[in-house]
Structure 1
Amino acid sequence: MNIILLGAPGSGKGTLSEFLCEKKAFTQLSTGDLFRDNILNKTELGLKAKEFINKGKLVPDSITNSMVEKYLKGKKKDLIFDGFPRTDDQALALDKMLEKLDEKIDKVIYLDIDESTLMGRLTGRMICQICKRSYHRITRKPLKEGICDFDSGTLIVRPDDKEDKIKIRLEAYHNQTAPLIKFYKDKIIKINADNCSPEELYIRVEKVLGF
């Protein structure tokens, strides 16, 4: 089963993906991770993506699609797409990529959440430099301050989690990504993610997926 997690930045897609990967043997395909890997390795695509990320802007489809297509050559089943597709054009491109591999998107989980809640989550978010697990200064603290519980990696604040960058990301989401709700109307499952712990959210999703 291939799944797309759809929702605004901070809605809980990343943490939900962690649970599904750990408990149900999915593999997360995160464009954020693809960008970081390509930037770290200083690939041509990575250097181009970095210019946009540092400005708090979305990376153009041509760059993102090329990274995803390269990844799919090595893994095409039991995937969770987190952060991709972001636009109708990317969704169409993904359908074509998967069709070539005799695969498809089976379910789309849409996490519905209030925008004021999103700002609180994102401005307090910390990410492990190694495994990319998410923490929060108030609601999801690590056992040891500044250190990941799983691999002792250093926790950092992402450059695009600053308030001014968050506003740009949310505006881009509403203009470009929210229309995917209509695009995937035949496959979408809406989940209310307000006032919901990561564990509670996982249980809700587990039920609707029939696990």
Structure 2
Amino acid sequence: MRINFWKDMPNSPTEPVQNKKALRISLGKDIYIATIITTMSSSESIRMVLIGPPGAGKGTQAPNLQERFHAAHLATGDMLRSQIAKGTQLGLEAKKIMDQGGLVSDDIMVNMIKDELSNNPACKSGFILDGFPRTIPQAEKLDQMLKEQGTPLEKAIELNVDDELLVARITGRLVHPASGRSYHKIFNPPKEDMKDDITGEALVQRSDDNAEALKKRLAAYHAQTEPIVDFYKKTGIWAGVDASQPPATVWAEILKKLGKN
């Protein structure tokens, strides 16, 4: 923490900026402005992977992690859309493959993450990877790149929920498309029907959020993800959290597993 003082003059800066708090102090006839500049200690940074099936609560907990640690939420789908919208070289390569009905290569995805680490200021306080890796080769490529960048993963948090509960959750899920915030008609309803609590914008229900589609997605998820969980268990950074509990309890458990409570 650092404190700066200066005399209050007509052109003195008075608006606090990020990580600053401004305070006016009277000393006799003069008024001084004090800014208290806080920086996040290394113990408050985070570098992690968030693992969990559809409906486990990643869309609820990732924003919590992002806000708590001022870290970047690196969701693979969002990164792809951003790179394509910007017309970057990586985005153009990905679009060409996707337009042909193919899957974006592991190398492109890892390079997109590398690009975020280099150019996204929020990554200086860490990152939460969501949706990647999904295979052992992806995990190996990711680990190699992160170690080369000097930012190895610290934790892989897996959100565990029984499949039957997931079906009940998903079939009532509501999503705010712009932010990814998720709600549930029964378990976690918005304050105002079908409207996002923060922006007031409309919520939607995804077309594939139905029981039949979900069971197929869960089968694919389990087949894909079990080897990834074993991979991170062997590296010693895996931790499981019972995500069938209320969101606040799950959040407290995540912080405990991260050693940040």
TM-score norm. by structure 2 comes to: 0.70
Q: Does 1:103 align with 2:151?
A: yes
Q: Does 1:203 align with 2:237?
A: no
Partner of 1:64: 109
CA-CA distance at 1:129 after TM superposition: 2.1
Q: Does 1:19 align with 2:69?
A: no
Q: Deviations over 1:66-85 (max 9, x none)?
A: 43333233244410111111
Q: Deviations over 1:151-177 (max 9, x none)?
A: 122211234423343233212211112
Contact 2:97/2:103 (8 A) holds in 1: no
**What is the root-mean-square deviation in Å for CA atoms of aligned residues?**
2.5
Contact 2:110/2:145 (8 A) holds in 1: no
Relative to structure 1, is the Cα distance of residues 166 and 58 closer, same or farther in structure 2, using a 3 angstrom cutoff? farther
Give the aligned length. Answer: 206
Superposed counterparts of 1:39-188, under 5 Å: 43-44=91-92, 45-46=94-95, 48-49=97-98, 61-75=106-120, 76-77=123-124, 78-185=126-233, 186-188=236-238
Gaps of 5+ in 2: 1-45
SS at match of 1:28: strand
Contact 2:48/2:128 (8 A) holds in 1: yes
Q: Deviations over 1:8-59 (max 9, x none)?
A: 121112211111112232221111322443566674324644776xxxx976
Relative to structure 1, is the Cα distance of residues 49 and 18 closer, same or farther in structure 2, using a 3 angstrom cutoff? farther
TM-score norm. by structure 1 comes to: 0.85
Relative to structure 1, is the Cα distance of residues 120 and 192 closer, same or farther in structure 2, using a 3 angstrom cutoff? same
Distance 1:167 1:61 in 2: 26
Q: Which has the larger radius of gyration?
A: 2
Gaps of 5+ in 1: none
Higher relative contact order (CA 8 A, sep 6+): 1
Relative to structure 1, is the Cα distance of residues 69 and 93 closer, same or farther in structure 2, using a 3 angstrom cutoff? same
SS at match of 2:157: strand
SS at match of 1:105: coil
Q: Which runs of 4+ in 1 moved over 6 A?
A: none
